[in-house]
Amino acid sequence: MVSCETSKRDRASEGPAVAESSRSLASAETIEAPRSLLGEAGSSAAKVRQSAQRRVALVEGSGAHLSVETRDLLRRRLRIVALLLFTGLSVFAIWSLVMSLVDPRWPLASTLFGAHLAVTALLGVLATRLCGRCDLSLTKLRVFEALIFGAPALFFILMNYERLSVAAALANDYPHVPEIVSGWMLLIFCYAMFIPNTWQRAAAAIGLLAAAPAIVNGVAYVACPDFRALMHAEAFRGALTEQGLKMALAAMAGIVGVHTIGALRREAFVAKQLGQYRLKKLLGSGGMGEVYLAEHQMMKRPCAVKIIRPEKAGDPQVLARFEREVRATAKLSHWNTIDIYDYGRTPDGTFYYVMEFLPGHNLGELVDGHGPLPASRIVYLMRQVCDALAEAHGQGLVHRDIKPANIYCAYRGGMFDVAKLLDFGLAKPLADVAAMDDGLTQEGSITGSPLYMSPEQAASDQVDARSDVYSLGAVMYYMATGRPPFVYPHPMKVMIAHASEDPDPPRYVNADLPVELEEIILRSLEKRPSDRFQSVAELRDALDSVPVDAEWNARLAASWWHDFGCPQRKALVAEAMEMAAA
């Protein structure tokens, strides 16, 4: 989602590594790991420990700065450039070798030719490593970019200096200033045409390439007396100026080209349409796909469109979960559950569904940016979430992935702090939870987010609505203290703690918390489901009885949003309202 820089609470009591791990896990994708690795005997804690020993693979969050689509585009473009340069240098290497064999007068400097072959081989290796099956991070792609353009640049420097010194030394065979800018122009235009970039970053890279011939000429002028003497000759007095002007024009054309291509790409992005929905802006991305702010072309209604990633489209497990999320959420009509408007598949195979656009913050962003919430606000928000879950549980659905990122404090119907429950992608009917036979996850799998996962879910035991009660307790603990109940650097340790450790009482961290709310949180976090609230309705009734100094309401929520709301989010709300009014 749209990021907002806000002041962070001091969390020095948590070690830096642990704090960083907690933030990473808080935004982690849902875990799905085979239960077959857990074993069958022993308590929940023993099962989880055994799974840790057998190294259950977990999917943790990612902090990539570019979307998967953009990184894949950069990878493909880099591979094209590497192949083009590899092909061109290979042709010239073969031509040079053949000419040296048929014409004894043809010079073939062993050092220069060796560098030629080395750079050609390196480009071939890099092109191979940039295959479609390789999932490379942005950092690695930038390293590939530097090698693909840097290696030929170093070779051109060596070749240009060699040509300048040899041409200047031709005393009786027409000494001259050779043309050395063509190779650099090739690199500049390859960079401008193929590498997706901002014009500022492109200007830095292209500027270095454009300056290289002048640097080579300068070195040759200092180190080569013949070249220096040639530059003072009347016939060649303007040669270097001419080269400089050519490179300056090439650099300007390249930078303007990058800016123009970037603008066209942005326009193409804005023009993307899925049926009647025009995509306006990327809001965020996750393990399943990407979410865009969009509008319905006929009704001019702002909405959010979730698109499944192209590389996931061939995975029946992913598609099944995607469709299940739509079906499960579409069955629900409560005000505090996100609304699903539409679902479809484009002719090119892209899956998508359309939901209401939620201006606001999720609980994770809210607490991370502003610290623990007052008790009155916790009660106000969690009562709404309990109401939404009550409808889902009444229809036999267990959410199984309740976490701060899946609870939104939104602006809806003219009111702020409207709680919205999201992401029913792991929701299952109770009968299917017991039978585990719907085929939409791996047989007997661990599913959920480790920081807020119930002990029975961590052990992949049979779960019911009381598992969601535990997750709500973990979320309330986070809202009250600013940290999850258990904080460890590895998700498996967190899952073990859920099954075997007692959390610190919330009032140890936040002494202002009412005792009654602390008791509700700790009861929700009981290890045995029978010791918890037996339904979200019971939990809501308990929240109604919590004494607070000043009850939170829509007026206080509006005042908070006005004073502390993220400026970027406010701008996004204004944009959505403008779309609706257009």
Known catalytic residues? Answer: 401
At 203 the three-state DSSP class reads helix
Sign (positive or negative) of CA dihedral 125, 127, 128, 134: positive
End-to-end CA separation in angstroms for the chain: 24
Side-chain-side CA neighbours of residue 289 (13 Å): 25
Rg of the chain over all Cα atoms, to the nearest angstrom? 31
> Which pair of structure tokens corresponds to residue 353?
């569904």
At 354 the three-state DSSP class reads strand
How far is residue 300 from each of residues 279, 578, 580, measured CA to CA in Å? 12, 10, 5
Angle between helices 375-394 and 465-481 (to 10 degrees): 160
Q: Which pairs with CB-CB distance under 8 Å and at least 24 residues apart come from 71-77?
A: 71/136, 71/137, 71/138, 71/141, 72/311, 73/196, 74/138, 74/141, 74/145, 74/195, 74/196, 75/130, 75/134, 75/136, 75/141, 76/130, 76/132, 77/194, 77/195, 77/196
Strand partners, 290: 285, 307
Spatial separation of the C-alpha atoms in residues 579 and 575, rounded to whole Å: 6
> Which pair of structure tokens corresponds to residue 305?
């469109």
Asked if residue 277 lies in contact with residue 294, where contact means CB atoms within 8 angstroms, the answer is yes
Spatial separation of the C-alpha atoms in residues 483 and 504, rounded to whole Å: 11
> Which pair of structure tokens corresponds to residue 411?
């602006």
